[in-house]
Chains A and B, each alone.
Chain A
Amino acid sequence: MDHKLDDPDIQEQEIDIKEKVKRKSNLGRIIKYFGFRLLALFITVVIAIYILILIANMGGAVDNIRMGQIRESVGMTMMGMSSEMAEWPLERRREFEQTLVDQEIERLGLDQPFIIRSFYYLWDAITLDLGRAERMTSDAGSRRVQLIILERLPPTLMLMMSYFLLMFFMALFFALFLSRRYGSKLDRMVVLLAPSSAAPGWFYGIFLILIFAVVLGWLPYGGMVEAPPPRETHLYALSVIRHLILPVASLIMGAFFINVYNWRTFFLIYSSEDYVEMAKAKGLTDRSIERKYILRPTLPPIITSFALSMIVMWMGAVILEQIFNWPGLGRMLFEAIGLFDVPVIVGGNVIYAYLLAATVFVLDIIYAVLDPRVKVGIGSGGDD
């Protein structure tokens, strides 16, 4: 050992190898970290969905969904066998139907106690295999809850992604801008306006519709695209953007000032740290101080606060979609309430659970990219 270290050549080689190993293990650590987070999150989702199933079935709702499905499929099979059975008396047919239903129930294991049954339901819910809607149909005409949900997912995602990106960058730059002008008129105005976020986005939506659609007539009342939808792709996109303005604007209004206010406070906290003073003393430019010494350490807490606000935002969007007639998941839930469509409501709960988990995961990734501790492997990142 000892003589090896004395040799400078070998020493150098060793350092090289160590670096390589380190880099490799870094990548491995990141993958492992994400794998672990994904697994943890998946377990969380499964537990959450299981709780939802338990709550939903306290009134026997899920049982009824499954029974309805079975009866329907048995009915279909019996129709196929009708030529022979047409001569049977009604009672015999009923009896036969009942035996078929019972067989099917036994085959699917639904005659077992609820604890076991609930795990079958859990699997159905996780795979979004929630059977058929009672009254609702997708625009394509299908009654499968899965298809209805998948059809409604893109508009909701589009709305929320637009909000997410616009909000994040607008608020971030505005907050940074304000932290440079601490105490100015603009800054004090934002502090004064921060309480406006007490009202959710949909609430401002009502006013925006009133002003821009009813009084001024500049923008449409609601919906996602003109009727009839334009044929050309670019016109279609333009129409969607026109319809997107008001809902996104109201979502932003509901959270903009509070975010700017909070983030600006974070910036102020970090810009009063000693190392920032040190950097200033070294004569670094304002821009590079801002980027390397203020923005970098402030982003993780900002991401955390943004993640929490996003979780609230998903809920606000449910009502926003209804107010703006946006054909997304929120509107689907609203329609399902009106039609008392049980499978769709259970499905809506499950898909929102997935969306919340996805939000948490995406923000986890951003967090991991930004927070060097995750890369080095000290903190377990994200939450604690």
Chain B
Amino acid sequence: MRLRKYLSQIRRYPSVIIGLFIIGLLIFTAIAAVIIIPYEEAIILWRGGDMWAESPRNARPLYVDWFTRGNLPRTEILDSRDFPANKTKESLNGVYQFEIMLPLNYQYDGFPKEMNLFFEADFAEVRPNIAIEVLTPDGRQYKTSDISITRDSVIRMEQRTELRRQMGNQSPRFGIFADPEQEERNILKGEYQFIISGYLFGTEDDIDLRLVSYGQVHGFGGTDHRRRDLGVALLWGTPVALMFGVLAAVGANITTFIISAIGVWYGGLVDSAIQRVTEVNMIIPTLPLLILIGMFYSRSLWVMLAVVIIKGVFGPAIKTYRAMFLQVKELPFIEAAEAYGTSNRRIIFFYMLPKIIPTLIPQFVTVIPTFVFLEASLAVLGLGDPVLPTWGKMLNDALSEGTLFMGHFYWVLQPAILLIFTGLGFAMTGFALDRILNPRLRRR
């Protein structure tokens, strides 16, 4: 009956609907994140390393391409195993000459960030010898000197000084793809051929490679300075943020609520003890304490969460709740309950607490973003969880890499927007719920 009344009122507050929609979206994303990338995998991915070798550094997200309407280069990977017809191998007196041709049809408007070749050579004794030749659509030819290859060599075109020399002292990625006919640096679109040729020194020896042309846009979240796909952190930041916010709010806010009710009901020594503990707790600075604990003991998100909850139990909210409970305590029905001998516990949990739940619910919802941002604050201070990918850690990486000065705005803006999105979702819901459950002027 009353619930239905509230529900019908909710419909009149668009901000609740928007807020609940955002919260729903976040919960959905969080569940999706955990299903798509399991916990262990997320940690391994975020640790970084070789698995990201084929993604570019500091590339913008793919959607940037839609806004600029340009044709920004994406990452192209050519694997020699996909072109078996382009591979030849001939025997010359026990030495085998081979040639692999990889065609790259380059139609983008920008230059690739870099070009690398990842070799996978299988040889018995002697290392294969190779050279890379580039044929451009307008018939230019560039060739590297001979390079000796190990089992998993990486050749970075940018570092080949001989190519640089052949191209009039410019970086190979410009030298290869720029149209020499034009004054400005413009892309010459067309089919480029990368010919890798050389010698193998055993009958069983074989060689394969992947040619990676790194794009300027990559993945739905872009990439960072360690080539990691920021999408992983954006996605996984959601469950972490929600969990941290909700658990801290549950742990801190609801216990605070119960403790203040107990204090008011028993009064006297219990009450003043709670008051004094709260005062001491208020003087202990939260963030420096978390820094201290992060430095001396553990930076794990779980430890931080525990400290936040313990610190929050005797939070300043106790004073607000206490004032409300003091009023409730004087209400006639409590006196009546006492008169017919209701137990203390029953009075606290079944008579006093429910009376203030309408205030608690909005409070609870409104306080969640505070904790979400607290996690981000810790991360920005460099005390983020050492293994988990979170929005705060992304912000921290971005700020410490000087993104604001370098212009990699996507890196800062994405987690920031998600954070504010989360904050607004909960805050809007909380504020509107407050107005629905506690009609104005009744709240003090």
Contact = CB atoms under 8 A, between A and B. Distances in A.
Interface in A39-60: 44-45, 47-48, 51-52, 55-56, 58-59
B1 interface: no
B216 interface: no
Interface string B405-430: 10101001000100110011011101
Interface residues of A, number: 63
B297 to A, nearest CB: 6
A340 interface: yes
Interface string A327-343: 00000011001101010
B292 A198 contact: no
B399 interface: yes
B379 to A, nearest CB: 10
A251 to B, nearest CB: 14
A197 B427 contact: yes
Interface string B267-279: 0000000011001
A209 interface: yes
Contacts of A45: 283
Interface stretch (B43-51, B330-338, B380-388): B380-388
A154 interface: no
B297 A52 contact: no
B326 to A, nearest CB: 9
A322 B440 contact: no
Interface string B206-225: 00000000000000000000
B287 A356 contact: no
A352 B424 contact: no
A304 B319 CA distance: 10
B291 A348 contact: yes
Nearest to B399: A323
B92 interface: no
A52 B426 contact: no
A319 interface: yes
Nearest to A305: B320
Interface string A186-205: 00000110111111101100
B373 A203 contact: yes
B316 A311 contact: yes
Contacts of A203: 373, 376, 416, 419-420
B284 A52 contact: yes
Nearest to B271: A384
Interface in A75-132: none
A209 B280 contact: no
A337 B316 contact: no
A171 interface: no
Contacts of A207: 416
Q: How large is the interface on B (under 10, 10 to 19, 20 to 34, 35 or more residues)?
A: 35 or more
B280 A337 contact: no
A315 B404 contact: no
A308 interface: yes
A207 B295 CA distance: 29
A211 B443 CA distance: 38
B292 A195 contact: no
A349 B283 CA distance: 10
Q: Which of B291, B376, B395, B443 has the most CB of A within 10 A?
A: B291
Contact of A200 (B289, B373, B431, B440): B373
B423 A195 contact: yes
A67 interface: no
A360 B285 CA distance: 13
B441 interface: yes
A345 B292 CA distance: 6
A48 B419 CA distance: 32
A272 B297 CA distance: 53
Interface string A296-312: 00000100100010011
Interface in A353-373: 353, 355-357, 360
Contact of B297 (A59, A195, A206): A59
A197 B427 CA distance: 8
Given A199-B420, A383-B275, A337 B289 contact: no
A345 B296 CA distance: 10
Contacts of A51: 280, 284
A250 to B, nearest CB: 13
B293 interface: yes
Contacts of B405: 214, 221
Contacts of B31: none
B282 interface: yes
Interface string B394-406: 0100010000110
Nearest to B320: A308
B297 A348 contact: no
Given A195-B427, A198-B370, A334-B381, A52 B289 contact: yes
A59 B303 CA distance: 15
Max count, chain A CB within 10 A of own CB: residue among B287, B366, B420 = B287
A100 to B, nearest CB: 29
B412 A269 contact: no
A147 interface: no
A346 interface: yes
A44 B404 contact: no
B288 interface: yes
Given A44-B280, A203-B416, A61 B296 contact: yes
Contact of A221 (B286, B404, B407): B404
Contact of B283 (A44, A221, A268): A44
9 contacts: A44-B280, A55-B292, A268-B441, A311-B316, A340-B295, A345-B295, A349-B289, A352-B285, A383-B279
Interface of B: 15, 275-276, 279-289, 291-297, 316, 319, 322, 366, 369-370, 373, 376-377, 380-383, 395, 399, 404-405, 407, 409, 412, 416, 419-420, 423-424, 426-428, 430-431, 440-441, 443-444
Interface of A: 44-45, 47-48, 51-52, 55-56, 58-59, 61, 191-192, 194-200, 202-203, 206-207, 209-210, 213-214, 221, 265, 268-269, 272, 301, 304, 308, 311-312, 314-316, 318-319, 322-323, 333-334, 337-338, 340, 342, 345-346, 348-349, 352-353, 355-357, 360, 383-384
Given A319-B380, A337-B382, A383-B319, 16 more contacts: A44-B276, A55-B293, A58-B296, A59-B297, A196-B427, A198-B369, A198-B420, A209-B404, A210-B404, A265-B443, A268-B441, A269-B441, A319-B287, A337-B294, A346-B292, A357-B283
